[in-house]
Chain A
Amino acid sequence: MTKNPSNSDSILVRSIGMDARKEAVFRMAFKMFTRRHYQLLDAGDTQAPAMTIIDVDGAEGMAIAHRLHSEQPEQRILLTSVSPQADSMFPVLQKPVRMETLFPALESLLNGGPAPGKPAGRSGATVMPIRPEVTIPALSTPVVPSPAAANPPVPKPVAAPAATPRPAPLLRSEEIRHFNPQAGLLGLLQIIRRDQSSAIIVNDQQQVILRLDPMADQAILLADDEHLKSLAREEHPRLQMRAPKDTDVPAHVSTRHLTLQSLLWQMGAWTANGRLSQQLQINAPVQLKQWPNLTRLTMLPDALRLAAFLARSPASPALTVKMLRVEPHDLFNFLAAADSLGLLRYNTAENPDNRIQPAAPNAPTVAEIPAAKRSFLGRLLARISGL
């Protein structure tokens, strides 16, 4: 006689008709389910199972289930099949099996129904999803661990983000300063990237500042960051560009190596220095063609947010500041850096290929994020960033 196990008992489950992979999936599902302790018996284990799960899509099909039922009428049986029979005498789960239906089905069997010999209904329709609607704990309610839950290490509750978002920075168009990305050191770098030919950049004393190989995406730096930053911010630095020679970088000189993309990205931000590119207008839309490779580029302030926002849909710099509440100088630096890598779309008469593209007609609409979920995501973000 099969007994009804208590919640603390191991509930032994036998599988029939499954290969090792399917059994591994059930083992994992059982590990993840913590309300009860289900345990899948290994092949050859002679313990009496509380229930048996049979995959009836194999060669013997339903015959196995009927044979088991005739030999062990009290045995609880659950079937899995890609095409469940509507008149099956056993409860059947449609494959692929979902946790949402697997555990309610097992619970139902443990609680005595549906009994063998009685139709379970189409596709195990007696099984109800176990997963309730999305519930997110209220942020204002401090969570106090119960003594029983004190053993597992639980991180301190992540502080809820401020209920009120930070105010949108002021953006006065008359105070916006502009820069020319085609001038100065950044302009030279853009030419080298465009022409895809190796080059050296030297100062007015013929000292090598940079050696660049755009085909290999390589840059050799012979100046420190402060020097490069000061050069980037000069509109008319005394720099020249020429073809490289073997003797340009003596072996004893200390150098740094970067990808050309990393250098361009950094130089774009340094050159902007809080200014808006002359090629962009404060109220005209811009859009990202693709995300910058932000794991291998200097992480500028708010770069991930800005990339997510501008990849989603076109937006003007003014709207971006208003929607994301980012500091204008951070936005302008990001735009300059992205544009230095050719990642921005914006409408210009000179470059019709770079025009903003309309959204695809079948693109899913982005739903408004409920406040509770937004707060939850903010907490998760804080948790991740603090790891």
Chain B
Amino acid sequence: MREDNKIIFTGPVGVGKTTAISALSDIPIISTDAQASDMTLNRKGHTTVAMDYGVLKLDVNTKIHLYGTPGQERFDFMWDILTTGGLGLILMLDNTRPNPKKDLHFFLHAFKDFIVDVPVVIGVSKTDVQAQPQIADYASMLPEVTADLRMLNPIPPIFEVDGRNKDDVKNLVMALLYSIDPGIGDQL
């Protein structure tokens, strides 16, 4: 198997990871959906219990694998599968959830070993439904939430996003790439 590169989309159930991956993927997204568990049933009829998978092809030999992790917090069985050889982590948060700060803490800590070496970008969805917390509030939370973490980019991008909006998803990924190397754009 030749080396490929992965971008991981993570976040709570129903936040729009699958839709975001679909916006980028050159292939129909492969999802392993199943009946939602009791924990998630009130938010989505079906949810991703394993992972979503899409591919962005640069050419016939070079693929970017796009993985969406399961949304359920208790289901972390194979997250380690995903994080070897990754380019970065896209964390999507749902502003309508009861405690987005807790979600921020959970997912950053779930990937704590990963984000030492790769950047993370944060997309906050459903801000049109629930305006608080604002982006500045998330930025204020970060020092406390990440006090015990080592992050490659301790000041990550935090953007409002709508997973259905391709431009939003593109900007998330481009921010991720620039966070790896801000110099890459000078060659465009």
Binding site for B on A (CB under 8 A): 20-22, 24-25, 27-29, 31-32, 35, 95-100, 130-137, 143, 145-146, 149, 152-158, 161-162, 165-166, 217, 288-291, 293-296, 299, 302, 304-309, 311-312, 323-326, 360, 362-364, 366, 369, 374-385, 387
Which residues of A lie under 8 Å from residue B32 when comparing CB positions?
24-25, 27-28
Cross-chain contact A290 with B155 (CB below 8 angstroms):
yes
Asked if B39 lies at the interface with its beta carbon under 8 angstroms from chain A, I say: no
Task: From B56, B78, B84, name the one whose CB has the most chain A CB atoms within 10 angstroms.
Answer: B78
Asked if B177 lies at the interface with its beta carbon under 8 angstroms from chain A, I say: yes
CB distance from B176 to the nearest CB of A (A): 9
Total A-B residue contacts, Cβ distance less than 8 Å: 229
A27-B32, A304-B178, A377-B177 are contacts. A293–B135 as well, Cβ < 8 Å? yes
Asked if B9 lies at the interface with its beta carbon under 8 angstroms from chain A, I say: no
- In chain B, positions 80-120 with a C-beta closer than 8 Å to chain A are 80-81, 84-85, 116-117
Residue of B77, B159, B168 touching A25 (CB-CB under 8 A): B77
Cross-chain contact A369 with B181 (CB below 8 angstroms):
yes
Interface bin, chain B: 35 or more
Cross-chain contact B177 with A384 (CB below 8 angstroms):
yes
- Nearest B residue to A158, CB-CB: B58
Cross-chain contact B186 with A153 (CB below 8 angstroms):
no
Cross-chain contact A291 with B77 (CB below 8 angstroms):
no
- Nearest B residue to A96, CB-CB: B80
A97-B81, A290-B136, A383-B58 are contacts. A20–B170 as well, Cβ < 8 Å? no
Return 7 A-B CB contacts under 8 Å, by A number.
Answer: A136-B3, A143-B62, A162-B187, A304-B178, A312-B182, A324-B186, A381-B184
Which residues of A lie under 8 Å from residue B23 when comparing CB positions?
387
Whole-angstrom distance between the alpha carbons of A157 and B182 in the complex? 23
Whole-angstrom distance between the alpha carbons of A360 and B150 in the complex? 10
Residue of A165, A291, A381 touching B159 (CB-CB under 8 A): A291
Whole-angstrom distance between the alpha carbons of A300 and B5 in the complex? 29
